[in-house]
Amino acid sequence: MRAAKWEFNVASGFFLDGSMIPRSEKRNIDERSEVRHPSASSTGVLEFRGRKHVVRLINVSASGAMVIFPNTPNIGERLLLQVLDRGVLWAQVRWVKDGRIGLSFAAD
């Protein structure tokens, strides 16, 4: 009897960084369910894989934030984000695109 040979193939070379789902039309309306506010500070500290990085905050809402971050975390990855007016928050990566990441804050 011959042993089965297992091969592992990657479906594609794409990463979940927002580039693989192109938008055919630019958004004309804001479909988000809550208002985003500028943060009291324009920077925060993001802990990513054991290292702390100063990041620029684009906006913050009650449930999440958008930050400029040159690294590419995995969708679903949990990170710590320290924001001056909010303290230290657990956040989960929801999307990654063009040097920005969208985070949702973990429910307490």
Average model confidence (pLDDT) for the chain? Answer: 76
Q: What pLDDT sits at residue 61? A: 87
CA of residue 50 relative to chain centroid, distance: 16
pLDDT at 44 over 60: yes
Asked whether the predicted pLDDT for residue 34 surpasses 70, the reply is no
pTM over 0.85, yes/no: no
Say which residue the tokens 């990085």 belong to: 53
Closest to 17 measured CA to CA, from 89, 70, 58, 56: 70
Amino acid at 100: R
User: Does 91 score more than 80 pLDDT?
Assistant: yes
For residues 71 and 84, the model is more confident at 71
Q: Kindly provide the residue ranges of all beta strands, DSSP E only, lying in 13-107, ordered along the sequence.
A: 43-48, 51-60, 64-68, 78-83, 87-97, 100-105
Measure the CA–CA gap between 22 and 97, rounded to whole angstroms. Answer: 11
Indicate if the pLDDT at residue 59 is higher than 70.
yes
In angstroms, the CA 79 to CA 50 distance is 10
> For residue 11, is pLDDT > 80?
no
More confident residue, 39 or 86: 86
User: Mean pLDDT over residues 32-40, rounded?
Assistant: 58
Q: What is the pLDDT of residue 77?
A: 96
Farthest-apart Cα atoms in the chain, separation: 69
